[in-house]
Amino acid sequence: MTDSRVLVVDDEVGLARALAITLRAVGWDVRVANDGKSALREAAAWHPDVVLLDLGLPDMTGFEVIAALRGWTRVPIVVLSARQHGEDKVDALDAGADDYVTKPFGMDELLARLRAAVRRAQPVDEGGETVVVAGDLEIDLARRLVLRDGDEVRLTPTEWAMLEVLVRSSGRLVPRKQLLQAVWGPGYAEETNYLRVYSAQLRRKLEADPANPKHVITHPGAGYRFEP
């Protein structure tokens, strides 16, 4: 059971109602919005723990909703879409979504992904060194805080989760499969496009020269490494 709050955003009224009934039955606190503007108002007033967002909305695109949310909140966003093209998935992740589920979907899988999205947004206490300094970066693992030249860097829950895994293994290669499963969950092993998108986003936010990174290093075909 869970007390987490989920905002379901879908213009298919029947599907939204069915999702709300199912989610409430397993303990979620649910609110529903059937268009983008309503979703943004609800998110601002209610502060959900996760947003389940359809890309095809009547008044604005799902990408616009993601961009608007990312302007002020780090709430996890799980996209629910009938669009199965790889570029749509990458575009959604690149816009700031945390995960992407295609219709039709299994309810057990969807619930697992929602739980994983909420879990990534929670602090993890693993002990050990809590503040890592890397050049002009200061990464406080206990406070989930990143400073660059003394200014806070705003990371989404998934960006933070990926960075945290890499930082806790500083100087060591983290294989792609291990990184995927640590951040997104045990059901993920082949979604390497997720890693490409999020490593690029981290570099844009953390590196002085994202094209020539010093800290978030890719080992092609193998994995990623954080270099202090």
Per-residue pLDDT of the chain (228 residues; tens, 9 = 90+): 468 999 999 999 999 999 999 999 999 999 999 999 999 999 999 999 999 999 989 999 999 999 999 888 889 999 998 876 667 888 888 888 999 998 888 999 899 999 989 988 876 555 556 889 999 999 998 888 999 999 999 998 899 999 999 998 899 999 999 999 888 887 888 889 999 999 999 999 999 999 999 999 999 999 999 998
126 in a structural domain: no
Q: Are residues 141 and 81 in the same domain?
A: no
Q: Are residues 113 and 11 in the same domain?
A: yes
19 in a structural domain: yes
pLDDT of residue 189: 84
Q: Are residues 177 and 82 in the same domain?
A: no
What lies within 8 Å, CB to CB, of 180 at 6+ separation is: 188, 189, 190, 191, 192, 194, 195
What lies within 8 Å, CB to CB, of 158 at 6+ separation is: 76, 98, 99, 117, 120, 183, 184, 198
Q: Are residues 30 and 105 in the same domain?
A: yes
The domain that contains 206 carries what CATH number? 1.10.10.10
Q: Are residues 149 and 202 in the same domain?
A: yes
Contact 69/46 with Cβ under 8 angstroms?
A: no
pLDDT of residue 1: 47
The domain that contains 56 carries what CATH number? 3.40.50.2300
29 in a structural domain: yes
Exposure string of 44-60, with b = 16+ CB inside 10 Å and e = fewer, is eeeebbbbbbbbebeee
Q: Are residues 139 and 71 in the same domain?
A: no
Domain containing 62: what range? 5-120
pLDDT of residue 128: 54
pLDDT of residue 127: 52
Give how many domains the chain has, as a whole number.
2
Residue pointed to by tokens 């619930």: 111
Q: Are residues 99 and 9 in the same domain?
A: yes
125 in a structural domain: no
Q: Where does residue 204 fall: left (phi above 0), alpha (psi -120 to 50 degrees), or beta otherwise?
A: alpha
Q: Is the pTM of this model over 0.85?
A: no
State which of 120, 142, 172 marks the end of a domain: 120
188 in a structural domain: yes
State which of 120, 140, 170 marks the end of a domain: 120
184 in a structural domain: yes
State which of 120, 143, 162 marks the end of a domain: 120
Cα dihedral: 70, 75, 78, 79 (round 10): -30
Q: Are residues 98 and 190 in the same domain?
A: no
DSSP state of 169: T
Q: Are residues 9 and 100 in the same domain?
A: yes
105 in a structural domain: yes
